[in-house]
Amino acid sequence: MLTIDYRESDLRAVLEWVAEDENATWLEALRRLAFDTSEDAAQESAWSISLPWWAFASARRQVFKLFSGHRLSLGKHFNVTDTARTLLSNSRRGLELYESAKNALPVPAADLRERLRSLGFGRELSPEQARNVGRLASLPAAATFSVPGAGKTTEALACFFLRAKDHERLLVIAPKNAFAAWDEQIADCIPSVKGGFVRLRGGRDKIARALVDDPRFMLITYQQLVRVADLLSAHCARFPTHVFLDESHRIKSGSAKQTARAVLNLAHLPVGKLIMSGTPMPQSFEDLIPQFAFLYPELPATADKVVELIKPVYVRTNKRELGLPPVTRQMARLPMAPMQAELYKLMKFEVAREAATALSIPGRMAFRALGRSVARLLQFVSNPSLLSSEIGFAHPDLLAAVLAEGDGPKMKYVLKRARTLAREGHKVLIWSSFVRNVEYISERLADLGAVFIHGGVDAGDEDDDESREGKIKLFHDDPTVRVMVANPAAASEGVSLHRVCHHALYLDRTFNAAHYLQSEDRIHRFGLPEDQQTTIEIVECVDTVDETVRERLSMKIGKMAEALEDSSLKPDPIPLDPNDIEDIEEYGTGLAPEDIQALLRDLSKEGR
């Protein structure tokens, strides 16, 4: 007799059988199905397997089809506990709700505005926001993929207040730098709400005490959720809660990573769900699979099906609809210095060997090692001096000759260009993916009042000039602060600079399309005058990994544009005559397997 149970302590489905079933023909098929369904499936004993409930829910049809094929009958060959039966019933309703969502009629704009006014909603929605909220409010689980600046937070709060009953709560999982936006928006949207969001932080004991008070509005970071996932799941199981994921592409890695696993384990508990991202598929269509699984874990999705599956349940406002003036994109393509080019040849062949290994013998260690090596290659092209502190460098004499050439051509260009723009009265935003570059550029441009932001700069009060918020305020308000230098990993979200800065320089980029797109949006977002020109300059060294990065970013952004039916996502840099003027493993390169193939192809060429 097989028993299907739900273990509340860790939110897992448990499949347990008796010793007599060990040689049954269906058992091996069930084992294979469990382990094929989830990388997190585990053989817990000689007679039991467990896997996350959300994963079991996605395989429920296959499980019961297997039972039917082997003529297993309920009560005679297998049992389902009452708790598991209830959750399976919810899964069936989830499938029904998804099917009905395809034909759900949006709430008419006039009715929507009247209902929001009666609820005391303080914001007047734009036509695009009213269209989106009208659609979202008719769905139990949905997505908003609007571009930054389109008002996703306002849409989310409007959706919650339209759908939620008085006793229902809201839990928002978001990056820390988005917390202030949620606090500001809830105060503006619903002035009658006292106290706003309770921030779940400060460690397990403090969060447990905060949950005892049962706040209606809660904010927690993705990183903190991992540490207290059991507390939050128990809370969501006890109290009816809506769960919203801000910057939902952060779970794109799926159950292979702790953060995504913690979020997905909550998927069957909320009474309402919303995911929010301006860049929902930064690497490939597969990035959408975990996000869709959070919304509808009952529906198995694959890379070739997920776009069609999510289309009925997402909304998007694009930059064209916001009336934003187009971006002027320029590209400065520079030759490497002579000795730099010689050393680059040696380094690229070493990386090519690692790339071939990572493709032929795939594994996490090989992939991480390659990520570090690609990061070194990108660093070397952007600023050769970044390798000067590397102990045991394989070519010390050649490196010394490279360093004798001074700043690399890209660094020289960016420093000179920033000074030219500052003299012309512009404020300039400079991007580099590497912390030491960020600090170095800021130091070299100190006479222009340069400030910097990277992961080591803590959030804090805007009156503290050393905090993230303080540096942003200085760049905004102080006319002597002409330059900000930033790392996309730390400043591509939650920072708005478009009112004071209209020119950005990219010393380097990585394969991470989300960080690139979001970094552009720091200065190109809703609120710009119609005649405002925004200029993005991308600096490359010819015949280097920079060109592979450009090609891969263009491909990824193009695929996302196609999936979201948004032509405004297709940047097309224009060549510019140059004479006219931290966690590396997870972030540093943003490598995907397809990127490795392209990298190996290009590094093997004589030019690159």
Number of compact structural domains in the chain: 3
Do both 91 and 147 map to the same domain? Answer: no
Could you read off the pLDDT of 541-557 as tens digits, one per residue? Answer: 999 999 999 999 999 98
Do both 202 and 343 map to the same domain? Answer: no
Confidence of residue 480 (pLDDT cuts 50, 70, 90): very high
Predicted pLDDT of residue 269 = 92
Span of 44-48, 495-499, 504-508 with lowest mean pLDDT: 495-499
* pLDDT higher than 50, residue 321: yes
245 or 318, greater pLDDT = 245
Do both 147 and 33 map to the same domain? Answer: no
Instruction: Please report, rounded to a whole number, the percentage of residues in the chain having pLDDT higher than 70.
Output: 94
One-letter amino acid at 131 equals R
Domain boundary among 73, 99, 125: 99
Do both 387 and 456 map to the same domain? Answer: yes
Q: Does an H or E element contain 281, and which?
A: none
Confidence of residue 537 (pLDDT cuts 50, 70, 90): very high
Do both 477 and 557 map to the same domain? Answer: yes
Residue 211 placed within a domain: yes
Average pLDDT, the chain: 89
Domain boundary among 317, 339, 362: 317
Pick from 40, 590, 566: nearest CA to 317? 566
Residue 479 placed within a domain: yes
Do both 92 and 137 map to the same domain? Answer: no
Do both 69 and 118 map to the same domain? Answer: no
Residue 228 placed within a domain: yes
Predicted pLDDT of residue 273 = 96
Predicted pLDDT of residue 492 = 66
* pLDDT higher than 80, residue 486: yes
* pLDDT higher than 60, residue 575: no
Contact between 242 and 162 under an 8 Å Cβ cutoff? The reply is: no
Domain with 179 in it: what CATH number? 3.40.50.10810
Determine the structural domain holding residue 81 and report its residue range.
2-99
Predicted pLDDT of residue 586 = 41
Residue 322 placed within a domain: no
Write the DSSP assignment of 372-435 as a string of letters. HHHHHHHHHHH-GGGGTT-TT-S-HHHHHHHHHT-S-HHHHHHHHHHHHHHHTT--EEEE-SSH
Domain with 580 in it: what CATH number? 3.40.50.300
* pLDDT higher than 80, residue 443: yes
Could you read off the pLDDT of 328-348 as tens digits, one per residue? Answer: 999 999 999 999 999 999 999
Residue 394 placed within a domain: yes
* pLDDT higher than 90, residue 583: no
User: Stretch 71-88: mean pLDDT, rounded?
Assistant: 92
User: Stretch 29-50: mean pLDDT, rounded?
Assistant: 92
Predicted pLDDT of residue 582 = 33
Pick from 349, 379, 545: nearest CA to 389? 379
Write the DSSP assignment of 320-354 as a string of letters. HHHTPPPEEEEEEEEPPPHHHHHHHHHHHHHHHHH
Do both 429 and 489 map to the same domain? Answer: yes
Predicted pLDDT of residue 392 = 67
C-alpha dist (Å) from residue 139 to 105, 270, 292, 511:
9, 13, 14, 34
Residue 424 placed within a domain: yes
DSSP 8-state class, residue 245 = E
User: Stretch 275-279: mean pLDDT, rounded?
Assistant: 92
Do both 381 and 524 map to the same domain? Answer: yes
Predicted pLDDT of residue 341 = 94
* pLDDT higher than 60, residue 572: no
Instruction: Please report, rounded to a whole number, the percentage of residues in the chain having pLDDT higher than 90.
Output: 58
Domain boundary among 265, 294, 317: 317
Residue 608 placed within a domain: no
Do both 550 and 501 map to the same domain? Answer: yes
User: Stretch 350-357: mean pLDDT, rounded?
Assistant: 86
User: Stretch 183-207: mean pLDDT, rounded?
Assistant: 91
Residue 31 placed within a domain: yes
Confidence of residue 579 (pLDDT cuts 50, 70, 90): very low
Residues near 23 by beta carbon (within 8 Å), at least 6 away in sequence: none
Could you read off the pLDDT of 229-252 as tens digits, one per residue? Answer: 999 999 998 999 999 999 999 998
* pLDDT higher than 80, residue 494: no
Do both 345 and 371 map to the same domain? Answer: yes
Do both 446 and 547 map to the same domain? Answer: yes
* pLDDT higher than 60, residue 381: yes
